[in-house]
Every structure is written in structure tokens, then in C-alpha cells.
Amino acid sequence: MHNLDYYYNCPTKIYLIDDGIKRAGSIIKGNGFQRIFLLYGGKSLKTTGNYQKLIISLKEAGIDYIEQGGILANPDISFVNDNLERVKNYKPDLIFAVGGGSVIDTAKSLCKAYYYNGNPLDFNTHKAIPTKSLPLGVLLTLAAAGSEMSNSCVMSDRRINFKGGFSSDLNRPTFSILDPQITYSVNPFQTSCGLVDIISHSFERYFSPSKKYELADYLALSVIKQCIELTPELLKNPVDYEARRAMMLSSTVSHNGWTSFGKEYNMPCHKVEHLISGQHPDIAHGLGLRFLLAEFMEKNKTTLSEKICKFGAFCFNIDSSHPEATIAKLRDYFDSLPLPKTMEEVGITSQEKKEYINHLELK
């Protein structure tokens, strides 16, 4: 993160509501939009019956739309390139993303590409900086990436095994609809990946250099502790409204800038995970991060000893001045999730693993 003349700017309007799908059309209309390009992911939107409810909502509000589904996890820039001409010909006044981070980030890329004559991946490779964007609306279906209120956009190019992100205030959605009930159908694997992703966003901000008194560090630790406490209930009872609501809010807060408010931050674990899923696009982002956070602590336990112990005391109630106790507890937490426990289980070689972990060392 570069030095800025201001700390924070987030214009995203959040609707934390029930019946988000049924109310989507009136919310779009109420925000002054009439003509939308609708984006969504795989089959789940239709198999849950939510697609039909959404279309009814759009029609009742008099919203004109065309649509495109099929966005995959670790979304590829080819989807943006394949649909860009269609979007430009349709001339929407809003792109509306229904999904999790992959769908939202694809929509963010399309919003910038609409006004850009070059390769949309230029923003992710930092060859260009966006100057204009179509408005973006979001209906969140998966609490994980925090893209519904963040300024980041991550895309892949599988032809060259690239995955990378860029930050811009133009990436902030105009509005996002958060309805916890929509996430009831998220399975234990994806819920666990989501929890890891949420934790990681605050984890990396917390472990970035801090001042003597740093409010954001306590905000970051609070998000992490909340996720840890929510985990057993979410895995035991996926339709617990209060737990799903808390997870959704944690997702949004963890990546909207609040947990780094007033400080500069780096995301070394995310950078390494982008290397992992760039080479192995079938590995879910949260799963890739699951392999890295405890290893980051281990690799930097001498440099970050005091912060690690504070992390352990706050999040796990550990009374120890030795970082190893906190690292062990974090490993135990990740092992409690219904996720693969080693990189080798998902096809990463021992040599690759060694290289990835070496990248975690702070310079």
C-alpha cells in the first residue's frame, strides 16, 4: 500500500437485510439504475431457486437486463475479454454481480475495461491505472473475499499462470446487498475456505508494522477472534441466522479497510497464495491461504514474537511469552476445519512447498 494524502474513502452503500433477492430490483431502481448487465457464477444460483426470484424482482421493478453466468473460482481474464464487446454494445448503467469474490472481481474488471482500450489485465499487472468505471452493484452469496466493500480486484490469466490484484477506489461497489439467509446453502468446505479468507485479510493487516498505539490492530484481532468463535456453530448448524450474519459482517469489515485504518499494510500471504492458485487454479483461494498463515508466523516468529504472543492472548486466551504456543494453537484451529491439511494433498510438490514458504519471510 502506497502513502496517500488521506487514510480512507469508501462510498459503498450497504444493505444488511432479509429477502435480499426479492428486494434487489427495488434497490437497483432506488439507486437510480434502470439498465443492468447481470453476472453470476455457476449452477448454484439456479439450483437454489434464487435465480428465478431475482428475475421476478428485476421485472417487477421494471429493470432492463441481459445476463451472463459461468464465472469460475479464481476467475480468468478471458471471461472479461469474451463479454466486453457485448457489454459495450448493450450500454448498461450498472453491472450487477450476484455471487462471491470471483463474480464480484470479474464485475470490477469489466467495469474498468468498459472505459479502457487496452488489455483489462493491464490493471492487475500494474501497467495501467484505471481512471473511470461503470457503477457496480452486488448481491453477496458467499461471505469470504470481502470484495463487496473492498477497493481490490484480483484476476487470473491461466494461459501464463498469472494471478494478481490491484487496488483502486474505483473498485468500490456503489452498493452491496447482504442477506445472511442467502448463504445458508454454502457447504462446509466453502464455509471453511471463507473463514480462512476473512481471517487472512485482518491477519496480514495486523502483522504489518504498527505504531505504539494502533487501534486498527485491535479491530483486526476482533475480526479474527469472531471467526474462530463462530466456526463450531457454522459447521454444526449452517442455517444459524445469527452466525451467518456475523460471518457476513466479518467478511465485509475484514477487507474494507477498517482493520488497517491509519496504517500501511502489506499482504505477503496473499501474494504467495496468488502464486499457488496461479499455478494451480483448481485450489480455492481460502484453501491456499490455509496452508500459509501458520507458516508465516513460524517463518517470522523471531521478528514478530511480541505480536504473535499478543495475537495468542487475544484470540486464543494463551498466557505465554513464547510464540510457539500461539503457532501451535493456530495450526490446531486450521486442522479442525474440513479442509486438506497439507499442500501435498492437493498436488503441490515438496519443492514447490519449500519455495512458497520461503517467500513468506519478511525482508
CA distance 89 to 342: 47
Those residues with Cβ within 8 angstroms of residue 166's Cβ, 6 or more apart along the chain or in another chain: 123, 124, 126, 152, 153
Fold: same for 13-181 and 188-358: no
Name the CATH code of domain 13-181 (choices 3.40.50.720, 3.40.50.300, 3.40.228.10, 3.40.50.1970). 3.40.50.1970
Say what the pLDDT of residue 363 is.
Answer: 87
- Considering Cα of 218, then 220, then 226, then 228, what sign does the dihedral take? negative
Using alpha carbons only, give the angle 124, 128, 130 rounded to the nearest 5 degrees: 85
Say what the pLDDT of residue 347 is.
Answer: 96
Q: Tell me, what DSSP letter sits at residue 170?
A: G
Say what the pLDDT of residue 4 is.
Answer: 53
Say what the pLDDT of residue 1 is.
Answer: 45
Q: Which positions of the chain have pLDDT values less than 50? A: 1-3
**How many CB atoms within 10 Å of residue 169?**
12
Tell how far CA 64 is from the center of its chain.
29
Name the CATH code of domain 188-358 (choices 3.90.110.10, 3.90.950.20, 3.20.20.140, 1.20.1090.10). 1.20.1090.10
* Domain parsing of the chain, residue ranges: 13-181, 188-358
